Homo-oligomer: A and B are copies of this chain.
């Protein structure tokens, strides 16, 4: 529609009718081609303008399209009225009762979108995910659902901006997607910080009171009688005390019961905020007089790194979530035994705070097809996948012939590995196809072209990344090849989606597709969903549909019964291509402790840079011969994984000199948001 216009689409897909009035006011700045040639001669140019040209119109596109009412969408996809909770006009939470109603419905096909090792700009996995479902549903008449992560407000107001996709492959309204949504991350923050406050307060009270005084306060006389609460009885049972009458406990039993005896130096539970606040990376707490000198060093993490976020993403029911919340280990006691949220008596309160967050949020794409937005762990410092529950519900809703497309963060070595080994283990679901997203720009970088430096919002980019350079592309395809091989380790067919930019030459595009197929991809397809919406991803959709009917021999990468270090080594060697791993003394002692505590048979969630297959962000392509350094090992017992830190990984991003918020504004008259992209 180069001249603009109004098109009404009425699509009958899989027996359900998706209607959408698609208003194309004008083609908004599809590429960055205008004015660019003049700049090619400069070796290194400031291209923050490029970002603008590529992304600035996303919100205009988003706004030019009126989303249909979410209750209409819910009806179209077969939800009953009492299965949704509407939040405004364009968002709704979906109740888990649906899973019970549809339990006999066969699942649809399950597609994972992963990527090559990305540039700091990202290579467009979200747009591919959206473009693919738009193509499947609106153009091939196949029911489909996209499942995305909720973005953290940290990067949205910091460096990265929003994460609703882009161009004509977006979730709308993008400002709803990128702001508070339905409050899930805020609920996680509240629950996480309640637990953190409970830990320090408990240490204070134990330090300043006798056993008797603690007991009188923890088990007060109520209506003349004294009784344990349910959570206290459970603690007594864990302590091996079978008594139920508080008056009959011996002094020794009372002491055991009232004292968690937390060793402050072992506290692994950190406070969180959903803000890029670098000054909270290392802090000292407890410096007010009222805390009686119990100071200790602590830190805040970004909220999406909370174990509660991981639990939200991995849980399968309210009961399961509550159990996981209770099992979270926050510290060790002075004897080296784990202390849990349940020991602190806070399990029920955490579950209450999370009772709505567990319901996935329904939104829609620009072409009116359904999207679930649910959970948002980062893929480098967490497991990087949206929720099991959203995928499960979507798989029921699309029906046997439908498709659910879910996205794993960063490169296949990061998000996809964790998808298979952690998320699929939690869900029991078997993926049908992996879509591996690549861009010519990133491949050139892997082939030896200059790095895209995203620091301080100044992007230095070399003309090599824009002008045709077949040699760089060919060289860089080693990374694509390696990521295809990683996918094949799991026995799932892989389709390469080349996310085409206007600056890519046809020869470059052909070359990438050729190499991808030679490297074992089931197919490799150029995509133009960014500029053309679902229509630009029809070939991809056809390839994915075909691949989904292939023989599938899905398998996990490692056996859970292997020792922790052995599992780490398998990932390092088979996935990252490391020669070996090397554990610091702290890491080794943590491995020993977790093994002794009975947590040795959990899967592994590596915290590693996403900018290289190795631990060194500057090493592009396919690094070899490196020894992967494991600096520390933590455990997320409630989420259910062991969490090794590779090198130095920050769990709290910072704000640059000119954060995104400089461009974000609200028109107080029209109530429109500006500058959120």
- Using CB atoms and an 8 Å cutoff, list the residues of chain A in contact with chain B: 35, 39, 46, 48-49, 52-53, 85-89, 93, 153, 157, 175, 179-180, 183, 186-187, 189-190, 193-194, 196-198, 200-201, 204-205, 209, 214, 216-218, 220-224, 229-232, 271, 273-288, 290-291, 294, 297, 299, 317-319, 321-322, 345-349, 351-353, 355-356, 456-458, 650, 654-666, 668-669, 671, 673-676
Contact = CB atoms under 8 A, between A and B. Distances in A.
A675 B658 CA distance: 47
Contacts of A271: 273, 277, 280
A85 B88 contact: yes
Contacts of A197: 275-279, 655
**The 9 nearest A-B residue pairs measured at CB:** A348-B665, A49-B223, A186-B186, A349-B661, A281-B288, A197-B277, A201-B655, A282-B288, A319-B668
Interface centre among A180, A209, A230 (most CB of B within 10 A): A180
A35 B201 CA distance: 35
Given A183-B180, A318-B666, A668-B322, A209 B657 contact: yes
Contacts of A456: 217
Nearest to A676: B352
Contact of A282 (B193, B287, B669, B673): B287
Contacts of A650: 290
A37 to B, nearest CB: 12
Contacts of A217: 456-458, 656-658
28 contacts: A39-B224, A49-B221, A52-B222, A85-B87, A86-B86, A87-B88, A153-B194, A157-B349, A189-B273, A193-B273, A194-B661, A197-B277, A205-B657, A217-B456, A220-B458, A232-B662, A273-B273, A278-B288, A281-B288, A281-B290, A281-B291, A283-B283, A290-B654, A318-B668, A319-B669, A322-B668, A348-B661, A355-B671
Contacts of A277: 193, 196-197, 200-201, 271
Given A183-B183, A287-B297, A194 B157 contact: yes
B663 A220 contact: no
Contacts of A662: 218, 229, 231-232, 345
A286 B663 CA distance: 27
A271 B153 CA distance: 16
B179 A186 contact: no
A86 B90 CA distance: 10
A254 to B, nearest CB: 14
A49 B227 CA distance: 11
A186, A279, A346, A458 interface centre (most CB from chain B within 10 Å): A279
Nearest to A86: B86
A280 B273 CA distance: 13
A139 B453 CA distance: 69
A363 B204 CA distance: 39
Contact of A283 (B35, B276, B287): B287
A189 B198 CA distance: 20
A271 to B, nearest CB: 8
A39 B405 CA distance: 66
A620 to B, nearest CB: 24
Nearest to A673: B352
A271 B275 CA distance: 11
Q: Which of A194, A276, A656 has the most CB of B within 10 A?
A: A194
Contact of A351 (B231, B287, B666): B666
B290 A285 contact: no
Give the residue among A89, A281, A294 with the most B Cβ atoms within 10 A.
A281
Contacts of A351: 665-666, 668
